[in-house]
Amino acid sequence: GEDVEQSLFLSVREGDSSVINCTYTDSSSTYLYWYKQEPGAGLQLLTYIFSNMDMKQDQRLTVLLNKKDKHLSLRIADTQTGDSAIYFCAAPLYNFNKFYFGSGTKLNVKP
C-alpha cells in the first residue's frame, strides 16, 4: 500500500502563513488531496491537485506538488482562527478503490 506521512502539529499566529507538508510513496497517484476536519466533525475535501500540475491556487490556499521528491504541501495565506483544524493529506490507489490518509496535522492558530 501507500505510505502517507505528515507532521502532527503546527502552531502559527493569526495573519501569518501556514505551510503543512506531506510525503507519499506511490508515484502513480493521479490525484492528491487535502481534507480538513473541524472538531467533532467528519472530513471535508479542501482542495486537490492533479498529478500533472506543480501548483494549484484557490483563494488563500496554494498547493505545491514536487513529484520527483513525492512531496505535497498546503500553504494557507493570512491564517485565521477559523482555520484551526486537522488537515489530512490523502492519496488514492491507482483504481480509486482505496484512499490512504496521513496522520493529520493539527493546526493551531493563535490570536
Partner 1 sequence: NAGVTQTPKFQVLKTGQSMTLQCAQDMNHNSMYWYRQDPGMGLRLIYYSASEGTTDKGEVPNGYNVSRLNKREFSLRLESAAPSQTSVYFCASTVLGAPYEQYFGPGTRLTVT
* Contacting residues for 53 by C-beta, under 8 A, at least 6 apart: 65
Q: What is the DSSP-derived secondary structure letter of residue 1? A: -
Q: Least CB distance from residue 8 to partner 1, whole Å?
A: 6
Classified as helix, coil or strand, 43 is strand
Nearer to partner 1, 16 or 21 (CB): 21
Phi, psi of 83 (to 5 degrees): -85, -5
Strands 4-6 and 55-58: unpaired
Q: For binding to partner 1 (CB under 8 A), which residues are involved?
A: 1, 4, 6, 8, 31, 33, 35, 40-45, 48, 50, 88, 90, 92, 96-104
Nearer to partner 1, 72 or 92 (CB): 92
Extract the C-alpha cell encoding 18: 501556514
Q: Least CB distance from residue 96 to partner 1, whole Å?
A: 5
Q: Least CB distance from residue 15 to partner 1, whole Å?
A: 29
Q: Least CB distance from residue 30 to partner 1, whole Å?
A: 9
Nearer to partner 1, 17 or 108 (CB): 108
Classified as helix, coil or strand, 81 is helix
